[in-house]
Amino acid sequence: MDILFERIRLISPLESRDEIGYLWIRDGHIAHSSPEPPQTISDRTRRVRADGWIAAPGFVDMHVHLREPGQTHKETIATGTAAAANGGFTEIVCMPNTEPPLDSPMAIEYVQRRATGLVAVHICAAITLGRRGELLSPMHQLVESGAVMFSDDGSCVRSAELMRRAFEYVAPFDALLSQHCEEHSMTEGFDINEGAIAAKLGLRGYPSVAEDIIVARDILLSEYCGNRRYHVSHLSTRGAVRLVRLAKSWGLRVSAEVTPHHFTLTEDAADGFDTNAKMNPPLRTRADLEVIIEALADGTIDAIATDHAPHTREEKQQLFSHAPNGVIGLETAVGLTFTELYHKRRFSLSRVVELLSIGPRRVLGLPQPNLAAGSPATVSIVAIDEQWTVEPERFHSKSKNTPFIGWQLIGKPRFAFNRGMMWECQL
Ligand SMILES: [Zn+2]
């Protein structure tokens, strides 16, 4: 690997860098990074004209379902990490709702040993054994095995008392607890958001307040247990935004992520019974979406995360009520983020890079890569003005369940560099 990007825009907010220059990556390291071209390069260096492209510290998706072990007909560690690199990411966090769940050091080691590619896989382990919500998992041991956070994602930890014990248990080693915020007693068998579309289609609704109730409960518990680190997964309601904002103003260590589908689509996407608009939490209303955009801009939301949830065509082709929840996101997230937030909503490039790269690492407590010469190359490269069409046949993910088929996006991932490897994106 020996490649020189000429006239690329270098965006690294933590180094206060936003300048056009030359980025030379050789043997997994940044050999040169400056407004001036390098004095000498070797004959075998590949030179790439990169006008209109940006280079940023590698993007992180902190919410990915890799489906392995147990459901490798939907996705595997190999195909999921290939999809991540192809979508412009260099690191991901995989969720523990596999079969068996990631609730033991052995299960964690299984994933770690298979994740040998460019994309680093961090582990989110289960809060409770088997994700059954009855007994706590051995969280201290799991941290020692490499878990970077905990969640029973897919389900909420229903019992307030058990969640309180989880916060108390992790206090000595200050682990991060995340929640899939859903008051299950209010959402039994839901199809989509409770509202006009559900009423029109005769589908069962998930009221937004069922998400807000758990966000409020957990914020109070995290404070009660000594200001513990707490993260709201895939936040989808304006009520939850208000609570997270309030918690931050109190000085609590609360963070939140939002998916591209929740800042792009509303419940209207399910009109017509498209099962690719069925996920948990469901798409909400225009009012929720607008508040979420504000929260992405003002720092209330810390990270964009995909909740990449692969399912086979056969599973998604069932009747709406029978189809499983979830959409894939790894190969559309960067395009949607630049289209919706940078081009349409006029977010600054540094804010976009914060949401994709710096924010998630800050929440997770991971080291922040930079673009300085001499550093290992953990870099994402995006052609921010390039228009492209979403064609799932080009995806590296095993599954194609996306509501964005045929969409025109502006901003295309071009390259990912990490762990001494290079990936040229093919979308
Ligand atoms: Zn979830």
Residue ranges, comma separated, of all CATH 2.30.40.10 domains in the chain are: 2-55+373-424
- For this structure, is 307 an active site residue? yes
The pLDDT assigned to 375 comes to 98
Q: Rounded CA gap, 412 and 119, in Å?
A: 18
Q: Rounded to the nearest whole angstrom, what is the distance from the C-alpha of residue 155 to the centroid of ligand 1?
A: 7
Of 212, 218, 307, 385, catalytic:
307
pLDDT digits (tens, 9 = 90+) for 141-164: 999 999 999 999 999 999 999 999
Q: Does 1 score more than 90 pLDDT?
A: no
**CATH code matching the domain that covers 58-364, chosen among 3.40.50.720, 3.20.20.140, 3.40.190.10, 3.40.50.10420:** 3.20.20.140
The pLDDT assigned to 42 comes to 87
Question: What rounded mean pLDDT belongs to the chain?
Answer: 98
pLDDT digits (tens, 9 = 90+) for 393-416: 999 999 999 999 999 999 999 999
Q: Rounded CA gap, 201 and 54, in Å?
A: 44
Q: Rounded CA gap, 112 and 122, in Å?
A: 8
pLDDT digits (tens, 9 = 90+) for 338-379: 999 999 999 999 999 999 999 999 999 999 999 999 999 999
Q: Rounded to the nearest whole angstrom, what is the distance from the C-alpha of residue 329 to the centroid of ligand 1?
A: 14
**What's the average model confidence in pLDDT over 14-41?**
97
Q: Does 310 score more than 90 pLDDT?
A: yes
Q: Rounded to the nearest whole angstrom, what is the distance from the C-alpha of residue 65 to the centroid of ligand 1?
A: 10
The pLDDT assigned to 339 comes to 98
- Look at 1 and 185; give whichever has higher pLDDT: 185
Three-class DSSP category at 269: helix
Q: How many CB atoms lie within 10 A of CB 202?
A: 9
The pLDDT assigned to 203 comes to 97
Residue ranges, comma separated, of all CATH 3.20.20.140 domains in the chain are: 58-364
Q: Rounded to the nearest whole angstrom, what is the distance from the C-alpha of residue 234 to the centroid of ligand 1?
A: 7
At a CB cut-off of 8 Å and minimum separation 6, what does 382 contact? 53, 54, 56, 88, 334, 338, 411, 412, 413, 414
User: Of the candidates 2, 45, 49, 55, which has an alpha carbon nearest to the alpha carbon of residue 25?
Assistant: 2
Tell me how far apart the terminal alpha carbons of the chain are, to the nearest angstrom: 21
Q: Would you say 125 and 367 are in contact if contact means Cβ atoms under 8 Å apart?
A: no
**What's the average model confidence in pLDDT over 218-244?**
98
CATH superfamily of 2-55+373-424: Urease, subunit C, domain 1 (2.30.40.10)
- Strand-pair partners of 416: 380, 423
